[in-house]
Chains A and B, each alone.
Chain A
Amino acid sequence: MEEVKLMKGNEAIAEASIREGVDAYFGYPITPQSEVIEYLMLEEPYKRTGMAVLQAESEIAAINMVYGAAACGKKAMTSSSSPGISLKQEGLSYIAGSELPCVVVNVVRGGPGLGTIQPSQADYFQTVKGGGHGDYRLIVLAPASVQEMSDFVEDGFNLAFKYRNPVMILSDGLIGQMMEKVKLKAQKPRLTENEIRERYGDWATLGNKSENRKIITSLELKPERQEKHNDKLQAKYREVEKNEVRYEKINCENADYLLVAYGSSARICQKTIQLGKEKGLNIGLIRPITLWPFPSKAIYEAADKVKGILAVELSAGQMVEDVRLAVNGKVKVEHFGRYGGMIHSPDEVLSALEQKIIGG
C-alpha cells in the first residue's frame, strides 16, 4: 500500500529498498549516510520481506558482497559516501565488466581526502567519467528531493536489470539528511528462485548442470576477445544514451539566461529563478536527472535561445565540462559553486550569474 511519510532522504532510500523487493543490502557506516543501514537494521526487513542486511567489514567487502549476490540474479545494493565510494571503485569496475545489475548510492560529502561531512557535488568526475579502471559507464541518477531518493531505487533497479549494468544514485549530504514529505510505493514481492531462473537464468549463477553452467567473469586473456567484449559494452552504452536521458526544464520558455544544475544545487537554483524575477531577469533551469547519459541535446538546443549559461554545482567545476561540450561554443558557459562542504545561497548564485554571464 502507498503511504505518505515525513522522512530523511537516507531513510527514504532504505525504506524504498525494502518496498522494491530488494534481496540484499550490504553496507558500512560513514557520515552522512549511516542512516541507511541504521534504518534497515532497526526495521528488520529480513522479517518483513526476507531481505538480507549485513554490515560488512569494509566498503570493499560490501561492494564485493553485492557482486556475489548480483551474479545470482538477485537485487543487491550498497550505499556509502565519497571516501567509501572511492574504495568501491575496484568492485564497480568488476561489476560493470561482468555486466551485473546493482544499485549503489553515494551520499556525497566534501573532499578530497577525508574532507568534510557536509554536502558536496565533487564526485561528479568519479561517478560520470569512470572512477575505476577500464572503459565502462555507470548509469547515474541524481535525486533532488527525498521523493526522488525513494523513487530512484525502483528506477535504478529497472535500469540495472534492463541493461545488466551498475546504477549509481548520486545524492549528497543535503538530500540525504533533509526531511521532506515522501510518497512511498506499495510493497513489491521479492522474486522467487524460479522467477529469477525464468528472467535471468541465461546468465545468473544459480547452480546448474555442467552442460548449462554459468560463469561470471570480467577476464579475457586474449585481447581480441576483450576488444569484442568492450565493443558489446560500448554498443550497450549507446543504447542507454539513446533511450534513458532524463532531465527537467524549469521556466525555460522565453528565458534569457540558463542555469544548469542537478541535485541539491538545482533546488537552490529554483529560488534563484524567483529572486531573478523580482529583479526583472528571466532565468531558466535545466536539471539533469541522469548525469550519464547526460542531457547534452536538450542543453545544446536550449543554448540557441539564451544569452549565456551558468553551470551551478557544489564543486570547483566538474559538470560544467559536459555543459561546455554540449553547448559547443554557441554561447558563453561559466561555472559557479561553493565547495569543500560549503553550500551556495540562492543570492550567491544570482550574483554569480550577474557577474559572470549578464555583466561578463
Chain B
Amino acid sequence: MSEILTPEEIIKKGTLVFKKTKLMTDANLSYCPGCGHGVAHRITMEVLEEMGIAEQTIGIAPVGCSVLAYDFMNIDMQQAAHGRAPAVATGIKRVFPDKYVFTYQGDGDLAAIGTNETIHACNRGENIVIIFINNGIYGMTGGQMAPTTLAGMKSSTSPYGRDLAMTGHPIKITEMVAMLPGVCYATRQAVHKPALVRKAKKAIQKAFENQRDKKGTSIVEIVSNCNSGWKMTPVDSNVWLEENMLPVFPLGDIKG
C-alpha cells in the first residue's frame, strides 16, 4: 500500500506552483467531477481577490446546481429565490450603491423563470455583474430541458430530443440583453480549456471594473458542460460542447 501524504508533506518549500484563492472555502465542491462550475467559481473569486474588493462585495446564489455557491465562495452571500437574483441584486445596489454586487445564475434560473428580472435589471442598467452559466440543461433537478437546450438534444423532459415546433428555440438571452442601452458589456466565454479559462477570467475582471466605474450592467455568459446531465464522460462532454454548443452559442464579446 502506498503511503498517503498530507498536503503539508506534498507542498514543500519551492514546490508550490499553484495556490487556491483564499476566497474559495475548503468545503468540498458539490459539483460533479468534470463540471465547469468549479472553475467559474474560482476565477470569479480570484478576480475579487486580485482587485482587492472582496470585503465590499455581496454575491447572490441562485436556485439550481450553484444554489450552494455560498458554501464555496468565501464572501458575504445571499441566496435568492429561483430566477429572482437580479431583483435581489437591485435591492442591495439601491441601498448600497458603492458596494460590489454580482449574481451567479444558471440557464434555467436566468433565462426561463427569471427572464423578467434579468431583462428589467439589465434595462435599468443596474450597476451589477451577472455571471451566467449556460450548460443547456437543468442539472440540479436531474437533467430536464432548459431554455438553452439545443434542437434535438435529449433531456429527461425532451426524451426524444428537443422538438422546436413544440418547445421553441434555444434562447440567446445574452444577445437579447446586449440590445438594451443599460447593458455596457455582454460577452460569451467558456472554461473547458486553459486558454479559455484565462480569457473568461479577464472578461469577469472587466465586468467588475465596469461596476467600479459605474458603467451599468455587465453580463458574462459562460458556456459550460454538464457531463452528468448530458450523460457523457467529462472529456466527451467537452468535445460535445465544442462541436454542438459553440456553433449555437459562439464565444466572444457581443457588446462592449
Cβ of B77 and Cβ of A67 under 8 Å apart? no
Judge whether A74 is part of the interface by a CB distance below 8 angstroms.
yes
In the bound complex, CA of A210 to CA of B20 (Å): 14
Q: For residue B110, give the distance in angstroms from its CB to the closest CB of chain A.
A: 14
Cβ of B81 and Cβ of A214 under 8 Å apart? no
Cβ of B95 and Cβ of A61 under 8 Å apart? no
> What residues on B are CB-neighbors of A130 within 8 Å?
none
Judge whether A71 is part of the interface by a CB distance below 8 angstroms.
yes
In the bound complex, CA of A54 to CA of B58 (Å): 20
Q: Could you say which of B36-44, B49-57, B129-137, B189-197 contacts chain A?
A: B49-57
For A207, the closest partner residue in chain B by CB is B56
Q: For residue B127, give the distance in angstroms from its CB to the closest CB of chain A.
A: 13
Q: Given the known inter-chain contacts A61-B117, A91-B84, A216-B79, please indicate yes or no for A68 contacting B91, CB distance below 8 A.
A: yes
Cβ of A72 and Cβ of B116 under 8 Å apart? no
Q: Given the known inter-chain contacts A68-B87, A71-B92, A210-B74, please indicate yes or no for A90 contacting B120, CB distance below 8 A.
A: no
Cβ of A26 and Cβ of B79 under 8 Å apart? no
Judge whether B210 is part of the interface by a CB distance below 8 angstroms.
no
Q: Given the known inter-chain contacts A61-B87, A64-B91, A65-B88, please indicate yes or no for A213 contacting B74, CB distance below 8 A.
A: yes
- Which of B23, B78, B90, B120 touches A216 (beta carbons < 8 Å)? B78
Contact residues on B (Cβ < 8 Å of other chain), bracket: 35 or more
Please indicate which of the listed interface residues A23, A26, A90, A205 has the most CB atoms of chain B within 10 Å of its own CB. Answer: A205
Judge whether B99 is part of the interface by a CB distance below 8 angstroms.
yes
Contact residues on A (Cβ < 8 Å of other chain), bracket: 35 or more
Judge whether A291 is part of the interface by a CB distance below 8 angstroms.
no
> What residues on B are CB-neighbors of A90 within 8 Å?
81
Judge whether B169 is part of the interface by a CB distance below 8 angstroms.
no
Cβ of A91 and Cβ of B78 under 8 Å apart? no
Q: For residue A223, give the distance in angstroms from its CB to the closest CB of chain B.
A: 16
Judge whether B198 is part of the interface by a CB distance below 8 angstroms.
no
In the bound complex, CA of A208 to CA of B79 (Å): 16
In the bound complex, CA of A61 to CA of B87 (Å): 5
Within B46-96, the residues touching A (CB, 8 Å) are 54-58, 60-61, 67-68, 70, 74-81, 84, 87-92, 94-96
For A214, the closest partner residue in chain B by CB is B76
Within A214-269, the residues touching B (CB, 8 Å) are 214-219, 221
> What residues on A are CB-neighbors of B99 within 8 Å?
206-207
Task: Return 6 A-B CB contacts under 8 Å, by A number.
Answer: A57-B119, A64-B88, A68-B78, A208-B55, A208-B75, A214-B76
